[in-house]
A and B are shown apart, each in its own frame.
Chain A
Amino acid sequence: MLFMTLFLLLLIVAVTAVFIITYNKLVVLRNRVKNAWSQIDVQLKRRYDLIPNLVEVAKRYMAHEKDTLEAVIKARMQAINVSAEDIKAKAQAENFLSQTLRSLFAVSENYPDLKADRQMMQLHEELVSTENRIAFARQFYNDEATLFNTHLQQFPTNIIGDMLAFKSFDLFEAEEKAKEAVKVDFS
């Protein structure tokens, strides 16, 4: 009898230990994903802040390209309004914004005065950097999210994770085109 109770006790202790260890590991990984996401958020905000200046400067030179400029402004508004909770929708909105910005830069090729404007050059550099940062932050987030998701799907973590209401994360998908090497040469 004593043996049985001892064994049972040990079993309970063991199971609890496994639960605690698994829970903690999942928490650590989840926080890393959250941190990675906030990095993306920081860079997206940076982009939101830069765009109004960009449109202002571009307007001075590209008065006739109202459509392109308006597309950018609208896309920005849409992207800001998408909640950060819905990762898939956010990714879509941001990709769309990137597209409009690319069209804007493509059109600005026809305006050498705009390209030479000092403010524009600064803004262009900051935007190029922001695009890169978003891409890298996205990559990093996806890596961390995949790590978490994989861990969550493995046995026995999946059972425990289910019980403790851990959910896997959506990946921040890149648009198909962005996967090619983008080399916009402004030199």
Chain B
Amino acid sequence: MPGRFNFHEIKRQKDRRVALLFFLSSLGYIIAGISVWWITKAYFYYSSNEHVRNLNIGLSIKEVLIVSGIVLAVLFINWMFVLSKMLSSTISRLNGEPPDENDKYHRVFLNIIEELKLASGISNITPYVCMDRAVNAFTISDLKGNIVIGVTEGAVGRLSRQQLEAVIAHEMGHIVAGDSVSASVFVAMMNIYGAVQRAIAGAMKGSIYISGASGYRARHRERDGGGGILLYLVVLLVVLTVLKFINMLLVFVVSREREFRADALAVKVYRNPLALAEALAVIAIESRVSQLSADETLSTLFIAPLSDKVSMFSTHPPLKKRIEVLLGMAHYHGTVEDFLKEVEKKHEIRDKNRVQRSMFVVKEKAEEYFVMQAGKWTGPFQLVDLMTVGLSWDAFVKKGQDGDPKPAVEHPEIKEFVFSSGAQRSISISESNVDKLLRCPKCDVPLKEADYEGTVVYVCGECGGILVGKRSLDKILIRKEQGFSEGIIEEGNRIIKISKNMNRFPKLGRVLVCPRCRIVRPKFAEKSKMFRRLFSTYAPIEIDVCMRCMLYWFDLGELELLQYVMEHWEKEGRLQRV
């Protein structure tokens, strides 16, 4: 085993493997092309008027070569074209974004990628995180050497570090072995098959329609009526389907071996077979509330299949088998079922022990600053207000009524605040520090940046309200760090009961001014306030949304409520969308 699963060995064999793949698939297409040509020839021969039977309907070498040439040219163009767009189109289809350095969980993901770059010696890997609740990961490469590793928010937020390490190392194993290139080529090929099949189906429909018209029959004097062309197309379709079938079978047989190999490589890197087994167990246990497109061909790229169908054409060996192999490596005493139960229990325990971190920040007495402007002391200002006042570095500022007047540049907190918010030359608003200037839409107090469920939110110290961006909100609803208090649980259950009878969707008008619009578009903000509405019919919690900024405002406790309710529906298996 050590010899076979050595990174170097596998890298060496990779080129051979990929070359073999290209050769075989080109061969397949050439055979398909020649068959098509031959059938076409036969058709036109038989449907022609002269029954000159002793005409050769065989294929000359020249014909074979020409057809092969055309097929290869078409293939080449198609591969280049499809693969160049494949990376970007797949990522946007999966709703992927580059990881956020400030997000605690994404940071772990980024670190693991760096570790694997060192372990494998492959450095041009671009990480992405896809917005999906399910735990999954994938990797794609195009032929130009761009490689992408993607994980879902579910994977990043719900797996422990060791489990995430194992999952990503598995994907790395695919990259090192060249599977991701073959898989991408396979997906591209399926596209070609699909396109050709659609074209034929279209032609078939056309011919059925046309063959009914007497004009066509008369013009071509078919022996067997319009059925001739139909027969031709049907035969074509059958041949193509057979070839596609064989192709798929080959690939699926090979991809099972691939998954086991990638699993073994993951273990080789982090030496933790149990962690990978646990990750696979989590995938097996958790309800598959994935909104990722169930495009079966794409499935080959993921660590776990996108749908539950287990068949001869499954792109992966059964999860249980993989877990069994891994448990063997870990010398686990027990069956796969025992293990799954253990993992489930661990999850339950972790769920029960969730900590309640209060988001309500204790109100500190804010420092007040006074600024000497045109000979007079103006103020009081809060630190944040100094940004809008038009302060110059040499203007005198005193802290509090009795403070010592000093030039602004000599106040360390002012300097620090300005530099940390990105404005260096002058103390003014820029796009990068808008977020420091947000104020509570209810209390008008500056909002504080806080970390919740690993991502950034803005909290009001007075009313406990929270301002969240859409993407951060999606992440929060997937993550499960926060524990729920008795009060939240009670209120949550009440809301769940109400939602069962809810089918209307009342809009409650526009009440609050969006904190961001207020700074960036002040004139517009008053006219275009945030919408007050219910989050959804199955989670009827009142929120305010600004559609322009994609910002959500929650009053005290409403965010935890929403989390509680969403988790309830997830447990019930009712969630199909994030």
Q: Is the CB of A183 within 8 A of B272?
A: yes
CB contacts under 8 Å to A, within B105-129, are 107-108, 111-112, 114-116, 118-119, 121
State whether the Cβ of A19 lies closer than 8 Å to any Cβ in chain B: no
A126 to B112, CA, bound (A): 10
A143-B8, A183-B162 in contact; A122/B115 too (CB < 8 A)?
Answer: no
User: CB-CB contacts of A100-140 with B at 8 A, as 1s and 0s?
Assistant: 00000000000000001010011001101100110011011
A116 to B355, CA, bound (A): 10
Q: What is the minimal beta-carbon distance from A34 to any residue of chain B, in angstroms?
A: 15
Q: Is the CB of A136 within 8 A of B104?
A: no
Q: B275's closest neighbor in chain A, by CB?
A: A183
A118-B451, A132-B115, A140-B118 in contact; A125/B107 too (CB < 8 A)?
Answer: yes
Q: Select B119's contact among A125, A139, A183, A187, beta carbons within 8 Å.
A: A139
Q: Is the CB of B161 within 8 A of A181?
A: no
How many cross-chain pairs have Cβ atoms below 8 Å apart between A and B?
41
A125-B111, A128-B161, A181-B272 in contact; A187/B350 too (CB < 8 A)?
Answer: yes
Q: Select B108's contact among A125, A139, A143, A187, beta carbons within 8 Å.
A: A125
State whether the Cβ of A39 lies closer than 8 Å to any Cβ in chain B: yes
Q: What is the minimal beta-carbon distance from B168 to any residue of chain A, in angstroms?
A: 12
Q: Select A39's contact among B8, B118, B161, beta carbons within 8 Å.
A: B118
Which residues on A sit within 8 Å (CB–CB) of B350? 187
A129-B112, A181-B271 in contact; A122/B118 too (CB < 8 A)?
Answer: no
A38 to B449, CA, bound (A): 38
Q: Is the CB of B104 within 8 A of A122?
A: yes
Q: B267's closest neighbor in chain A, by CB?
A: A181
Interface of B is mostly: helix
Which residues on B sit within 8 Å (CB–CB) of A136? 115-116, 118-119, 269
A102 to B68, CA, bound (A): 64
Interface size on B, residues (CB 8 A): 22
A118-B451, A140-B121 in contact; A129/B272 too (CB < 8 A)?
Answer: no
Q: Is the CB of A133 within 8 A of B118?
A: yes
Interface centre among B108, B115, B119, B271 (most CB of A within 10 A): B115
A150 to B274, CA, bound (A): 35
State whether the Cβ of B146 lies closer than 8 Å to any Cβ in chain A: no
A62 to B451, CA, bound (A): 25
State whether the Cβ of B89 lies closer than 8 Å to any Cβ in chain A: no
A187 to B275, CA, bound (A): 13
Q: What is the minimal beta-carbon distance from B103 to any residue of chain A, in angstroms?
A: 12
- Which residues does B use to contact A, with CB under 8 Å? 8, 104, 107-108, 111-112, 114-116, 118-119, 121, 160-162, 165, 269, 271-272, 350, 355, 451
Return the 6 tightest CB-CB contacts between A and B, nearest first.
A129-B111, A136-B119, A136-B118, A181-B271, A132-B115, A137-B118
Q: Jot down 23 A-B pairs with beta carbons below 8 A, ordered by A.
A: A39-B118, A43-B118, A116-B355, A118-B451, A122-B107, A125-B107, A125-B161, A126-B111, A129-B108, A129-B114, A132-B111, A132-B115, A132-B165, A136-B116, A136-B119, A137-B118, A140-B119, A143-B8, A181-B271, A183-B162, A183-B272, A187-B160, A187-B350
- Which residues does A use to contact B, with CB under 8 Å? 39, 43, 116, 118, 121-122, 125-126, 128-129, 132-133, 136-137, 139-140, 143, 181, 183, 187
